[in-house]
Chains A and B, each alone.
Chain A
């Protein structure tokens, strides 16, 4: 199984450009997440989708939009990239049980640089 697949792995954007980060999982998970990781900041939640058809803001949603295209795919869009969005972006998925007993499965990340 591939698990969680993120594309692209690396990207350089100019300020003001737009792009979409793709994420797909093949584990039939219900919930999917986008996090960003910055040095010294740990991981911060951008948006998440508890189930197909729903999306919610996380801790740092400004400048981003998401689409839960179907149960497998959850994309993150930067409409007008800014240098502050330079980061490593991680997609994760899980299928929580009734008592939230599941951990996340993470993708390998997208390293984005905005110049």
Chain B
């Protein structure tokens, strides 16, 4: 079953604008990760935030995590046409050595030049 659910399913913005995507999940987690997938390609890891962290930055990316609401958001600032892709959140709620991620269904971001 899906652990994470991204919102919105699709987002279309103009170049230079900020893009915000949200992820909600159901059970407690060890960490939450965001991935990008360009059309026809594999997923690429963007950023990881641990359950005891509230905010993390990487370049133009800003991720927040609210464990009380079981939700996370990914903000891409000053978007570019090259940011056009699908974005997935993934949660790690595994125990012991059986580390595995559960992915959401993704948000399709289109950045118009």
Which A residues contact B (CB, under 8 angstroms)? 4, 31, 33, 35, 40-45, 48, 50-51, 56, 58-59, 90, 92, 94, 96, 99-109
Q: Give 30 A-B contacts (CB < 8 Å), ordered by A residue.
A: A4-B42, A31-B99, A42-B2, A42-B88, A42-B103, A42-B104, A42-B105, A42-B106, A43-B103, A45-B100, A45-B101, A48-B98, A48-B100, A50-B98, A50-B99, A59-B1, A90-B43, A96-B97, A96-B99, A99-B50, A100-B30, A100-B92, A100-B94, A101-B48, A102-B48, A103-B45, A103-B48, A104-B45, A104-B90, A106-B42
Task: Report B-chain residues with C-beta under 8 Å of the C-beta of A103.
Answer: 33, 35, 45, 48
Partner of A40, one of B41, B48, B105: B105
Measured CA separation A59–B103 after assembly (Å):
11
Residues in B with CB closer than 8 Å to A108 are: 41-42
The reply to whether the CB of B102 lies closer than 8 angstroms to some CB of chain A is yes
A101–B44 Cα distance when bound, in Å, is: 15
Q: Known A42-B2, A90-B43; judge A100-B98 contact (CB<8 A).
A: no
Select B97's contact among A44, A50, A90, A92, beta carbons within 8 Å: A50
Give CA–CA (A83, B103) in the complex, Å. Answer: 24
**B20 CB within 8 Å of chain A:** no
Contacts of A107 in B (CB 8 A): 42
Q: Tell me, in angstroms, the Cα distance from A102 to B48 when the chains sit together.
A: 8
- B102 and A45 within 8 A (CB): yes
B4 and chain A: residue at smallest CB distance? A42
Distance from A102 Cβ to chain B, minimum over Cβ atoms (Å): 8
Nearest-neighbour CB distance to chain A for B67, whole angstroms, equals 16
User: Complex formed: what's the CA distance from A79 to B88 in Å?
Assistant: 31
Question: Which B residues are in CB contact (< 8 Å) with A35?
Answer: 103
What is the CA–CA distance of A101 and B56 in the complex, to the nearest angstrom?
14
Among residues of A, the one whose C-beta sits closest to the C-beta of B45 is: A103
Q: Which residues of A contact B43 (CB under 8 A)?
A: 43, 90, 92, 104, 106
